[in-house]
A and B are shown apart, each in its own frame.
Chain A
Amino acid sequence: MTDTGIQQLDVMFGQARAENRAVLLPYLTAGIPDFESSVAIFEAMSDAGADGFEVGIPYADPLMDGPVIMAAGEYALDHGVTVDVAFDVVSAVVERTGKPVIAMTYVNPVLRHGIDAFFVKAATAGVAAVIIADLPADEAAPFKSAADESGLGLVLFAAPTTDDARLDRVLAGDPAFVYGIAEIGVTGERSEASSNTGALAARIRERSEVPIVFGVGISTPDHVAKASEVADGVIVGTAIVRRVMDAATGEEAAETLATFVADLASATRR
């Protein structure tokens, strides 16, 4: 029997813990630069040491995303990457890499699909967990029950601005993991490593054993190394998306990312 999404994540985090490292979850918008290249790029990142992936389902008005991921989303939408196409990308990635995929999107496409129908589709495609960037714990209940119903995880956020009372509320929402926001701001590359990760991770650890994965502003192997000291995982998004958007061909993107992701992966070791 196939593992549920939650079980896949447990295995992934457990294995990394045994190896004294954090998991590396590269983010890439689905279907760029085209369907086949997109899947090939994920495969190359898998071979280079990614433990799983965050696959972006493009949305026209992504409030948590900076210019690079926003442009990638627009490109994908212009090239016909609907929710269904994005799920086809996920299926292919899961089939070829055998690694967990976390789907990332915004509230409205999920609502339009119907919350339950969206999660059923996600589960069928092989998604392990879902991240919804504009869904705070306060509004999460119907999404969480749909996720439970389909055996998928729902990821909730904790930011440096999240106070203790809110942190309790986030953890009470029973997230598959906590997405720790490393930088106060939208997604995008930063020059310095985040100075927020240590304190935020400590506040979460005091309260819960739930895995913590940091994202937003983590752009280099140094940043990954620093976040990996305190987290169970790291997400690198814009630095990956930019390399795909800048590459002349899908092949070139896959080659560039194989090297980059290998560097990121070695930085996850403590």
Chain B
Amino acid sequence: MRLAKPDERGRFGEFGGQFAPEILMPALKELEEAFIEATADPTFDEELQHLLSTYVGRPTPVYHAKRMSDELGCNLYLKREDLAHTGAHKINNTVAQALLTKRMGKPRVIAETGAGQHGVATATACALLGLDCVVYMGEKDIERQALNVYRMKLLGTEVIPVTSGTGTLKDAVSAALRDWVASVETTHYIIGSVVGPHPFPWMVRDFQKVIGEELKEQLDGSPGAPTPDVIVAPVGGGSNAMGVFYPYAGDDGVRLVGVEAAGLGISSGKHGASLGEGSPGVIHGAMTYMLQDDFGQVLEAHSISAGLDYPGVGPEHSYFKDDGLVEYHNVTDDDAVAAFHKLSTIEGIIPALESAHGLAWIMANADQLRGQNVVLNLSGRGDKDVQQVAALYD
């Protein structure tokens, strides 16, 4: 059963909690109180809704991808988060958290980014609201997402390369948390996914659930707008998936499918399938499925998609997995790239490599989806990935 909110220990079932250094505990409490207070305050919601409609461009449309549908034999609908300002769903959360930052009276924001979409969305919200912004980004990701790095700089944000570990999303989250340990009195950490210690997973889910709520209104069973049979979303940390799944979780007759990165193939060991192949542990402050070795050391993840290259996952996804509310599968780099090409050529939509994982699962399972209404949460646009994909064919 889906939970309106985590329990008093910040847990979704056994998952979640607050495994954070003591220095941060008061800030987590302050954040929880500010979040509860803000969401109960009509002026906060008014301001947020105003920005979501006039600045972010919500509601994002649902598009019936007819040519792709014909080819697959199902009715494929795309929830167009790629059309939100800055090109991904990430902005839903950053605008809301930036408003919250103002409310808490903190002048500085830090964030982590993998693919750069959350970094750009945070930089954007901070430019909009006049907040200082620092984004931590792994050096490997800086290389593969050069365009987004420059966008953040244009927006007035300082991008700090993270060289520790593998130089990817995990290391960026850790570096941001280390900054926060030192700067907590003046700084809010706008975490980019439904991960981290309580109240982050709950708060980010609530700021992202607008995706699924809109979808319910848009596909309401009226003529030309059939209700979904299957909703598919990519899962790295899991914020876009949580946003679209949560309002549907537990609804009869709607199958929810999260797609993780199988990277070079599950058997290669180089993947990002925390839910599919991991085991429960504590990463970045929360109990959740994660990739770890026999000694409890965090393992490196791998994915061609920087946003899915993460060895943990939001704790509520772990709860959904164990409770059977959502099924989680995975897709390789190669299949994701093929789907990336397919949607570009057949629909004129270049998807983010993250979103392409969702489409790749649909393509691979077209037989069992025949005749069904399938929604793909098209979490982001693929402009940022064009250079990287082009390099594969050099």
Contacts and interface: CB of A to CB of B under 8 A. Distances in A.
Interface of A: 59-61, 63-64, 66-67, 70, 77, 82-83, 106-113, 133-139, 156-159, 161-163, 166, 170, 181, 184-186
Interface stretch (B33-41, B77-85, B292-300, B329-337): B292-300
B281 interface: yes
Contacts of B283: 61, 108
Contacts of B24: 161
Nearest to A59: B297
A64 B295 contact: no
B224 to A, nearest CB: 49
A107 B165 CA distance: 19
13 contacts: A59-B297, A60-B298, A61-B284, A64-B21, A64-B181, A66-B178, A108-B282, A108-B296, A111-B296, A158-B22, A161-B25, A166-B22, A170-B22
B174 interface: yes
Interface stretch (B12-20, B141-149, B228-236): B12-20
A181 B23 contact: yes
A63 B23 contact: no
Given A64-B21, A139-B17, A159-B23, A186 B184 contact: no
B19 A186 contact: no
Chain B interface size, as a band, is 20 to 34
Contacts of B295: 82-83, 109, 112
Contacts of A138: 9, 18, 25
A175 B9 CA distance: 21
A16 B157 CA distance: 51
Given A159-B22, A162-B26, A184 B185 contact: yes
B285 interface: yes
A138 to B, nearest CB: 6
Contact of A108 (B164, B181, B281): B281
Contacts of A70: 164
B23 A134 contact: no
B182 interface: yes
B160 interface: no
B294 A112 contact: yes
B170 interface: yes
B389 interface: no
Contact of B182 (A156, A157, A166, A184): A184
9 A-B pairs with least C-beta separation: A112-B296, A185-B182, A157-B22, A109-B296, A159-B23, A60-B297, A108-B296, A107-B282, A108-B282
Contacts of A157: 21-23
Contact of A109 (B21, B177, B181, B297): B297
Interface string B273-317: 000000001111100000010111110000000000000000000
Contacts of A184: 23, 181-182, 184-185
Contact of B292 (A108, A110, A133, A156): A108
B185 A161 contact: yes
B298 to A, nearest CB: 5
Residue among B22, B282, B297, B298 with max Cβ neighbours from chain A (10 Å): B22
B27 interface: yes
B314 to A, nearest CB: 17
Nearest to B285: A134
Given A63-B174, A83-B295, A109-B296, A134 B282 contact: yes
B25 A136 contact: yes
Contact of A63 (B178, B184, B281): B178
Nearest to A61: B298
Given A108-B298, A161-B27, A166-B26, A134 B185 contact: no
A158 B170 CA distance: 27
A157 B181 CA distance: 14
Contact of A112 (B17, B170, B292): B292
A156 B25 CA distance: 13
Nearest to A60: B297
A138 B294 CA distance: 26
